[in-house]
Chain A
Amino acid sequence: MTAVAADHELGPHGEGGWRLLIRAGWIRAAWMFCLFGAFGFGLVVVFRWWGGWHPIIDMPIVTLVSLLVAAPIGFLAGIGCFDYWAYYALGFPTRPEDHSGHGARTWRDYFRVNTDHKVIGVQYLVTTFFFFLAGGLLALLVRAELARPGMQFVDTQTFNGLFSVHASLMIFLFVVPGFAGLANFAVPLMLGAGDMAFPRLNALSFWLLPIAGIMMLSSFLVPGGAFACGWTGYVPLCSTHEPLGAVFFNQGVQWAGASSIMTALNFLVTIITMRAPGMTFWRMPLLVWANFTTSLLVVVATPFIAGSQFFSMFDHVMHTAFFDPNNGGYPLGYQHIFWFYSHPAVYIMMLPGFGIMSEVISVFSRKPIFGYRLMALSLMAIVVLGFSVWAHHMFVSGMAPWLRVPMMITTLLIAVPTGIKVFSWLATLWEGKLHFRTPMLFALGFLSMFVIGGLSGVMLGSVPIDIHMSDTYFIVAHIHYVLFGGSVFTIFAGLYYWFPKMTGRMYDERLGKLHFWMTFVGFNVTFFPMHILGTEGMPRRVADYAPKFATLNMVSSIGSFALGASVLVFMYNIITSWRTGEVAPSNPWRAMTLEWQVSSPPPIFNFDEIPQVVGSPYGYGTPGAQHAILAPVRTGTAEEVEVT
């Protein structure tokens, strides 16, 4: 990894002995993890002994309290997430302007609590990419098992665990936080701000993520196997018929969800209060708009999935009966609460991608974004409508039948603002000067694939069609066209687009294009046949299927391995370019937004002086148009902030 500067001698290294043990870092994280874990264990034992319950050591409760709740808090405390707040609360001297934990000078700075939004953005992206690889490998195992009818490699418990953990990792540890990582890097720069509004909260929200991801992955090691009830965790299957691994999912979602909520609050406050002078709402780049609307969704919706997972977990470990019909519970209640988050979550996983698309398409078409205000307003329309469609996941669930038609109408109406965005991007391309660099290829790939996913979504919005298609491979095809053809393509576009800004080096264009074409072809070969499998009668989430579906499944499996190979090309490109790529200029794409007006990578505090925004971020084609006026760069003067 590259560092901004190489001031090794200033780093706090070279101390030894017991100071290493108590200084914030990995060593303290290790022993505090154990200490808090032991405390959780003790708490359970004392309470059970005191209450006269037997056995005193009950493994499910111990695992939950000690391993999944207390120990992670110990880890966070040890790594240093709470130091400042703890000092403040305990009355120790604190320095609000303490920048010792800010910025990256060596690669080591990426492995500690860091308050620099650019470092956190990279931390987010590398972490989420690790879980993308893990989730992808699980998917390849699923496709290997499904290549032929019959059972070949795994048993059904493992198989159900594979696709459940695959989906949870991809959703909660890749797409949602992946976008948060890109936005973390780009949004403060685009606003002309020095950092996020709450840098310490920002650091904490990152460190919650690895906890959530490792929790979900490690459920494979639990006796009885990983959670195997799908990422939807429907009750009563997940609450009362599953091994202990289900609790790892319930609790993993809490950590990831808490991270999401903190980040979203941070974005909202940053966007509302920290825009540079002159940056009115109608002068914000659409990526900022997209993250503003996404954050609104996250803040309102995420507590609902937290509630659903808590109740499901209580049913599991404490034998409550929130969803147990034998004791007055209501299983469909879970689905309503779950989808009240998880449908807006679809937009949480899509709107930031829309923002990336607007940036990339405008820059590489050398034209202003078409219909800027309607683009922003349609984002808001999706937010509002997005909360009124959740029960379209439940058309066959047995809920009140009258709910179906209203939910169908709102669902179909969401196609309108989404359509506005697609048509506006097409109009932006029209008569432009198109440059097919890798981000643009992914953007155009997104545009075509997302339209297919959107149209199959319109089909599923119609109740009679949905009754036939629900829970079949058609659904699997649809969500992958939306979340892979949609979200993942935009994440790749964003990664290539901001790679020069993040690392100060250019990626290899030839390898980037190779990666795009392998992804595009592999994606379609993998997921298109699933449409047909589903309509013809293959249900989803099955380890085995009727022999008549063998050919298409084999095609799909071959495609998935090509898709897996494409990721290797991407990794090779990113790793080699990061180390030895061509040095990037400050503005390789000739873009107008603010992040491209500073050096690559940007200075530790982003701007020497806060810029003055004077116009649209998309003034392409107008001679002399400016988005913002920046103070001339001064180097080596005494005014530069002294950082240690």
Chain B
Amino acid sequence: MRRGSIASLLLIGVVAGGIVAAVALALPWLPTPASREAGRIDFVTWFVIVICIVIFSIVAAALVYSIVTFRARPDDLEDGPPIHGHTGLEIVWTIVPTVLVTAIAIVSAIVLSRDDALGKNVLRVNVVAQQFVWSFSYPDAKGLTSGTLMLPEGRSVQLRFTSKDVIHSFWVPEFGQKQDTVPGLHPTLHITPDRLGTFPVICTELCGLGHSVMRTQAVVMTPAAFAKWLKQQTAAISSPNPSVSGAAVFKNNACGACHTLTAAGSSAKVGPDLDKLPAYAAQAKQPLDSFVRESIVSPNAYIQPGYSKNVMPPTFGTSLSKPQLDALVQYLVSSSKKG
């Protein structure tokens, strides 16, 4: 190989590497981490990206150089030199990638084991997924349940998953961690939040018609604020006459993920528009109050034309308590009459 060709090959390689590296750095690849695990995942990602940029640059340089240098004129009917192989070169490009992927495997395995290792004083949260709702309960706080995932900063959190129907998947991009929820299994996931803020909780496993709206939020608060929130909420549920607000039931069960209801500020279109409940009840020839109750408890009893059966979970009849159900029906009846 001529010396000039090595120099120009190197030059092309450096230019290609530079361009790819600039693209890699300029683009907002990963969300800003909000957990220690995400920080470590970022590290592995960049470790692998650097290796990938080097490999890509080598390939791009060889390809571009060949295209420019070895182009034949259309009337050139000669063949190239009869080179059938080069054992040394073939050994090199077998060994070097083997070493690189081994390095990637070792770094990944170390990060994986550290991400999975629970810290001290673990906060346990039970996560229940169903079409198309998340709910989070805190077994150490009298089973307090929330539609939003509230977490303290800096504490090791273990999420334990249950699915009531199909497979869903729990993901907060800023936490980096992800876990499928499988009916019949109870997998766990470890997160150590380390940045205050509100982040989206996203279902990433196709779970049916409302998959794209199966969202809620994760809020990371200071340990003091979290303790205060926990205290307030547990006090509310343990008082002898809990005042159940229909609006809260609506919000905590994520009804607004699928239904429009002006009073609750939701405008989703997966299920029927709840502002039109009086009209629907008239179509179904039932009194509004019992129509609303029946539609929550056994959603397939009456299907509004234009919507499908089996989309709404049939489980609310058992998952909601009697006062909660009463409050929700009352709330829906009064809100829809106003709307």
Contact = CB atoms under 8 A, between A and B. Distances in A.
A432 B178 contact: no
A452 B74 CA distance: 30
B84 A370 contact: yes
Q: Which of A151, A542, A546 has the most CB of B within 10 A?
A: A542
Contact of A237 (B49, B77, B166): B166
B235 interface: no
B112 A404 contact: yes
A459 interface: yes
Given A332-B182, A434-B71, A405 B109 contact: yes
A566 B89 CA distance: 39
Interface stretch (B196-204, B244-252, B316-324, B325-333): B196-204
Contact of B63 (A234, A371, A447): A447
B62 interface: yes
A423 B93 contact: yes
Contacts, number: 269
Q: Which range contains the number of B residues in contact with the other chain? A: 35 or more
A330 interface: yes
B227 interface: no
Contacts of B210: 156
A471 interface: yes
B115 interface: yes
A222 interface: no
Contacts of B44: 462, 464-465
A373 B90 CA distance: 11
A541 B72 contact: no
Given A331-B184, A471-B178, A541 B211 contact: yes
B185 interface: yes
28 contacts: A236-B166, A236-B167, A237-B167, A366-B80, A370-B83, A371-B85, A374-B85, A396-B169, A398-B179, A404-B112, A408-B109, A413-B101, A431-B70, A433-B79, A451-B59, A459-B48, A464-B41, A464-B44, A468-B45, A468-B173, A470-B178, A537-B173, A537-B202, A541-B206, A542-B212, A543-B211, A590-B77, A620-B80
Interface string A612-644: 000010011110010000000000000000000
A424 B90 CA distance: 8
A380 interface: no
Interface in B8-64: 27-31, 38, 40-41, 44-45, 48-49, 51-52, 55-56, 59-60, 62-63
Interface string A414-444: 0110011011101101111111100000001
A236 B181 CA distance: 12
B108 A463 contact: yes
Given A470-B204, A535-B30, A426 B63 contact: yes
Contacts of B171: 471, 539
B183 interface: yes
Interface in A286-330: 325-326, 329-330
A482 to B, nearest CB: 15
Interface in B172-198: 173-174, 176-185, 187
B104 A412 contact: yes
Given A420-B94, A532-B29, A433 B180 contact: no
A423 B81 CA distance: 18
A431 B78 CA distance: 12
B206 A230 contact: yes
A365 interface: yes
A465 B72 contact: no
A539 B109 CA distance: 25
B66 interface: yes
A232 B220 CA distance: 35
Nearest to B48: A459
Interface in A535-590: 535-537, 539-546, 590
A419 B204 contact: no
Given A332-B182, A434-B72, 18 more contacts: A237-B166, A367-B83, A374-B85, A398-B182, A398-B187, A404-B112, A415-B97, A431-B83, A432-B72, A455-B55, A464-B44, A532-B28, A536-B173, A537-B173, A619-B82, A621-B80, A622-B82, A625-B82
Interface string B148-168: 000000000000010001110
Contacts of B30: 468, 535-536
Contacts of A229: 206
A542 B211 contact: yes
B255 interface: no
A412 B60 contact: no
A398 B82 CA distance: 53
B86 interface: yes
B213 interface: yes
Contacts of B45: 459, 465, 468
A431 B83 CA distance: 9
A544 B184 CA distance: 29
Q: Which of A433, A444, A540 has the most CB of B within 10 A?
A: A433
Contact of A426 (B28, B66, B85): B66
Given A160-B206, A371-B90, A536-B173, A468 B178 contact: yes
A447 B59 CA distance: 9
A325 B186 CA distance: 12
Q: Which of B31, B82, B187 has the most CB of A within 10 A?
A: B82
Contacts of A472: 204
B63 A532 contact: no
Nearest to A456: B52
Contacts of A532: 27-29
A368 B82 CA distance: 6
Contacts of A415: 97, 101
Nearest to A542: B212
Contact of A156 (B79, B107, B200, B209): B209
B223 interface: no
A224 B209 CA distance: 12
Given A432-B80, A459-B52, A536-B30, A332 B206 contact: no
Contacts of B107: 462
Contact of B89 (A427, A432, A535): A427
Contact of A236 (B74, B102, B165): B165
A409 interface: yes
